[in-house]
Amino acid sequence: MNCPHCGTSNFDNASICANCGRALHAAPPPPPPTNTYMPPPPSSPGAGYGSAAGYGAPVPGARVPNYLIFAVFVTFCCCMPLGIVAIIFGAQVNSKLAVGDYAGATEASRKAKLFCWIAVALGLGGFIIAMVINGAALIPLILESAATR
């Protein structure tokens, strides 16, 4: 590329001019070659999600998941009190979004997700323990019916 200040030809990836030493991109850059190029939107959801920079200042307008369906499903199927906690945090996401508290909503969303998965783990563990106890209670019955046959 040519330096916008002195016109000297430089390497394409150079940031300063080899002749005059001034920044090659200080001047307005040439228009992109095609119209199909779109700069990344500043408010893309998930941009900086979980990162320290994006966490403190969530982008207004970005959707914050509330995990409410997941939480109700977990409470309904895993029978665990933690599912109720997840529903409370999910409800908080909606309330905080409604008043524009994006940082609070993101935090509540994170907690709702966390408690959903803890509830799933505890629920599955409970099911397995219950199945084992149930199965153990069935063994004498099965043996008895096999012996009398």
Return the residue of 84, 104, 114, 117 that touches another protein, per CB under 8 A.
Answer: 84
**Rounded distance between C-alpha atoms, residue 17 and residue 81, angstroms:** 66
Return the residue of 17, 24, 97, 119 that touches another protein, per CB under 8 A.
Answer: 97
Residues of span 26-65 touching another protein by CB under 8 A: 63
**Rounded distance between C-alpha atoms, residue 41 and residue 99, angstroms:** 24
**8 A C-beta contact, residue 108 and residue 93:** yes
Residue with token string 């996401």: 93
Return the residue of 16, 62, 77, 114 that touches another protein, per CB under 8 A.
Answer: 77
**8 A C-beta contact, residue 17 and residue 3:** yes
**In this chain, which stretch among 5-13, 48-56, 85-93, 113-121 interacts with another protein, using CB under 8 A?**
85-93
Nearest Cα to Cα of residue 41 among 56, 61, 57, 27: 61
Closest CB to another protein among residues 32, 135 = 135
Helix, strand, or coil here: 98? helix
CB of 72 to another protein, least distance (A): 6
CB of 147 to another protein, least distance (A): 19
Q: Which two tokens mark 25?
A: 């991109």
Chain positions contacting another protein, by CB under 8 A: 63, 66, 68-69, 71-72, 75-77, 79-81, 83-84, 87-88, 90-95, 97-98, 123, 125-127, 129-131, 133-134, 138
